[in-house]
């Protein structure tokens, strides 16, 4: 490619004599048909025609220079856009914290989880956390002196890792030392009702999963059961882009006895009917209403959000489970691994190793199985993705405009807004791969 500098030097060094000689040279080269011989001859003899030809030559050179300059600017702009996007992707990677979201670069003293020597987990003995009785562990908990009750865990369908949240359930039992620590509000028996043991009150659950208001719970409503549940709640959510097809798959398996992945045509039919047509999305409205129902529910306060995508991420996963362990401990629940000790070392601590074995490796095994079975990636139409991204942006703005409840109590809104922006950006990046940058 010709450099901009060389072209500029050549143009500036040309004199009128150079132009005159160039025209005379072109006069002699008429056999190739590039120059009209009669006009060139006139240029040699007629001063007026010489000036006319001179203007034509310089105008052509100026036009070529403009085009070339424009191409240089376009190339530079493209390079600058790539740099900015790369910088944005890096700088917008966030960490969860008790106060909201924190840029990873804000705490350089902490060793990034992805840089730790994870091979140490194969030799570290994490089995010393054998399941204990809840009484023994509760007696060792000095951070909470009141009555300990299960915490509400509203979870949008498929937002907890594992089939029916099985990976989450196994992890919670390992971290707390309580068998059946993760309970489901809708599961009942002669000895279990609404996440409480009937014959042994001391045998408490740690979290109580519920999908209200998707499956409405009115008699009694969760807000009227505050005496039997902790004062803070954990909200599990997932990017709509993957939550909707996963939800459809789960219902097909549960209610229609589907084996393996649903057929593409079934997904497309479901998608176009419920995800929406580019202007309205029944599923997104349900997803949004689910989050807002619990965000605004008195007398509870959102302690933290549990985004599905962070469970299996090497950078975000260990941070997520450490925050979760901290919430459980503050609410009086037993915690064997809190991840507080040796947090800055290059070796993973017990909590991180537990996460690696119970969550990360379990999710990888599940993904490998599906890849082996040939599962496809559910797709969307571009206008549907654009619609979801726009709705996420609008949702984030709505939350920001009402960042506190009427009573002035913070409800984890900074964290929620950050997650909504993450989801929006993820969807936009999936569009860029096909169509280039888009704007909301």
pTM for this structure?
0.71
How far is C-alpha 140 from the geometric centre of its chain's CA atoms? Answer: 37
Helices (H), 311-412: 317-330, 350-355, 361-372, 382-401
Would you state the pLDDT for residue 49?
58
Q: What is the pLDDT of residue 115?
A: 72
Give the pLDDT score at 72. 55
- Helices 47-91, 4-13: inter-axial angle, 10-degree rounding: 160
DSSP state of 291: H
Q: Is residue 223 within 8 Å of 299, Cβ to Cβ?
A: yes
The pLDDT of residue 2 = 42
Cα 13 from chain centroid? 56
In the chain (440 residues long), the average pLDDT of successive 10-residue segments reads: 45 49 48 42 50 56 56 56 42 32 32 70 57 41 67 98 96 95 93 90 91 94 96 98 98 95 97 87 97 96 97 95 96 88 72 94 95 96 94 96 65 91 96 63
Asked if 301 contacts 411 with a C-beta cutoff of 8 angstroms, the reply is yes
Rounded to an integer, what distance in angstroms lies between the CA atom of residue 52 and that of residue 46? 10
Cα angle at 310 between 308 and 316, to 5 degrees?
A: 165
Q: Of 264, 303, 306, 274, whose CA–CA distance to 384 is shortest? A: 274
The rounded distance, in Å, linking the Cα atoms of 23 and 62 is 17
End-to-end CA distance of the chain: 36
Give the per-residue pLDDT at 104.
29
CB contact at 8 A, 153 and 210: yes
pLDDT at 109: 34
Burial class of residue 127 in the structure, from the number of CB atoms within 10 Å of its CB (0-12 exposed, 13-18 middle, 19+ buried): exposed
Q: What is the CA radius of gyration of the chain?
A: 32
pLDDT at residue 266, rounded to an integer: 97
Distance from C-alpha of 313 to C-alpha of 114, rounded to nearest angstrom: 9
The strand pair at 100-103 and 196-197 is best described as unpaired
**In 3D, which of 187, 183, 177 has the Cα closest to residue 207?**
183
**Coil, helix or strand at residue 236:** strand
pLDDT of residue 402: 80
């Amino acid at each position: 490619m010709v450099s901009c500098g060389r072209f500029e030097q050549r143009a500036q060094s040309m004199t009128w004599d150079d132009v005159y000689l160039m025209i005379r040279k072109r006069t002699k080269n008429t056999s190739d048909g590039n120059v009209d011989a009669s006009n060139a001859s006139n240029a040699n003899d007629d001063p007026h025609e010489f000036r006319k030809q001179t203007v034509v030559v310089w105008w052509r050179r100026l036009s070529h220079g403009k085009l070339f300059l424009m191409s240089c600017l376009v190339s530079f702009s493209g390079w600058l856009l790539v740099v900015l996007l790369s910088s944005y992707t890096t700088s917008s990677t966030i960490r969860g914290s008790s106060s909201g979201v924190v840029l990873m670069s804000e705490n350089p003293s902490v060793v990034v989880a992805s840089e730790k020597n994870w091979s140490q987990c194969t030799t570290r003995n994490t089995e010393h956390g054998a399941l204990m009785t809840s009484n023994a562990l509760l007696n060792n908990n000095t951070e909470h002196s009141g009555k300990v009750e299960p915490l509400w865990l509203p979870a949008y369908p498929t937002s907890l890792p594992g089939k029916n949240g099985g990976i989450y359930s196994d992890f919670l039992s390992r971290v707390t030392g309580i068998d059946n620590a993760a309970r489901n509000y809708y599961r009942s028996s002669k000895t279990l009702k609404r996440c409480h043991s009937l014959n042994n009150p001391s045998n408490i659950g740690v979290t109580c999963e519920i999908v209200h208001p998707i499956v409405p719970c009115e008699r009694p409503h969760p807000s009227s059961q505050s005496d039997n549940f902790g004062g803070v709640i954990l909200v599990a959510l997932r990017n709509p882009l993957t939550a909707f097809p996963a939800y459809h798959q789960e219902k097909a398996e549960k209610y229609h006895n589907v084996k393996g992945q649903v057929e593409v045509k079934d997904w497309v039919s479901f998608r176009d009917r419920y995800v929406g047509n580019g202007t309205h999305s029944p599923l997104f409205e349900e997803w949004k209403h689910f989050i807002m129902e619990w965000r605004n529910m008195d007398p509870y306060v959102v302690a933290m959000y549990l985004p599905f995508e962070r469970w299996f991420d090497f950078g975000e996963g260990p941070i997520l489970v450490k925050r979760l362990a901290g919430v459980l401990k503050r609410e009086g629940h037993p915690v064997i691994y809190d991840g507080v000790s040796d947090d800055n070392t290059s070796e993973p601590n017990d909590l991180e190793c537990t996460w690696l074995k119970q969550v990360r490796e379990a999710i990888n095994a599940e993904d490998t199985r599906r890849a082996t079975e040939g599962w496809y990636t559910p797709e969307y139409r571009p206008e549907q993705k654009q619609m979801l991204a726009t709705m996420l942006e609008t949702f984030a703005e709505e939350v920001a405009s009402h960042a506190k409840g009427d009573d002035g109590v913070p409800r984890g809104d900074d964290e929620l807004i950050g997650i909504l922006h993450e989801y929006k950006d993820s969807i936009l990046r999936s569009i860029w791969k096909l169509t280039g940058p888009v704007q909301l």
